[in-house]
A = this chain, B = another copy of it.
Amino acid sequence: MEIRTILVEPKLEENIGAVARVIKNFGCSELYIVKPANIGEKAKAVASHAYDVLSRCEIVDSIEEAIKNSVIVAGTTSKHGISANKHLRMPFFSPRQLKEKVKALGKSGILSILFGSEDTGLKREELMLCDVVVCIPTSTEYPVMNLSHAVAVVLYELSEVEGAAATSETEKLASVEAKERLFMHVKTFLDEIGYKEHKKEKTMLMLRRILGRAELTGREVQTLRGILRKAEWKIGDVKN
């Protein structure tokens, strides 16, 4: 799904610029703004390299216009203490639940997400235009996030960039066999350095646990064995 971020009557141009940046950070592009305050130099400065998102944004007069062609309209709120029998705020999702819902639907099209004004949030009649209400789980002590921060969290959760970074460059983990050879090498090494017999089993188990948790790559196993070999040679050297 394509994500359209809609700001409803934002008051501070810094927030508008910051939202543009966040939109580009998460690989989205559509920004609609209903009756914004002036968008000037400050907004541009905060948008930084996302000036293109800012300059392409659609400025409209009503939410109805902004949500045109959407297949789902989600309204955000910071009020999570609302009782469930208030139909206005039902269904009531966390950003993650919304993502799962959207995924399960398998629909394509535009998912519009509305963010209210800094001072009031989305009003009753604005929330009534939404299919679902989304609330970021925040502390009850201070639940109200800054506008652009709320956009960042929601787009982080919903954008498809997800996972791309962390998985792309990960190295192959060591095989069970390679790790076993490492453990055998360590065991021999403990013998060679005269490690106390009665402590050996326990220590080997500890090392197994440590190295197990570390999820070694093949290259790392090789380096560790290299250190052992080097130490063995040193011991051998001084022996002869």
Residues of A within 8 A of B (CB): 18, 21-22, 24-27, 46, 48-50, 80-85, 90-94, 97, 135-139, 141-146, 148-149, 152-153, 156-157, 159-166, 168-171, 189-190, 192-195, 203, 206, 210-211, 213-217, 219-220, 223-224, 226-227, 230-231, 233-235, 238-239
Contacts and interface: CB of A to CB of B under 8 A. Distances in A.
Contact of A137 (B22, B91, B166, B203): B166
Nearest to A154: B156
B146 A18 contact: yes
B234 A194 contact: yes
Contacts of A24: 139, 141-142
Nearest to A234: B193
Integer count of this chain's copies in the complex: 2
B203 A135 contact: no
A8 to B, nearest CB: 20
A162 to B, nearest CB: 6
Nearest to A28: B139
Contacts of A48: 146
A15 B152 CA distance: 15
26 contacts: A21-B145, A21-B146, A21-B149, A22-B146, A24-B139, A25-B143, A46-B146, A80-B165, A80-B166, A81-B168, A81-B169, A84-B217, A92-B166, A136-B156, A137-B162, A137-B164, A139-B161, A145-B152, A148-B149, A193-B230, A193-B231, A203-B226, A210-B211, A213-B213, A213-B215, A235-B235
Given A165-B94, A166-B92, A213-B215, A139 B80 contact: no
Given A215-B213, A230-B195, A25 B145 contact: yes
Contacts of A164: 80, 137
A24 B238 CA distance: 60
Contact of A234 (B146, B211, B226, B235): B235
Q: List the 5 closest pairs (A to B, CB-CB), nearest first.
A: A27-B139, A80-B165, A84-B171, A94-B166, A214-B214
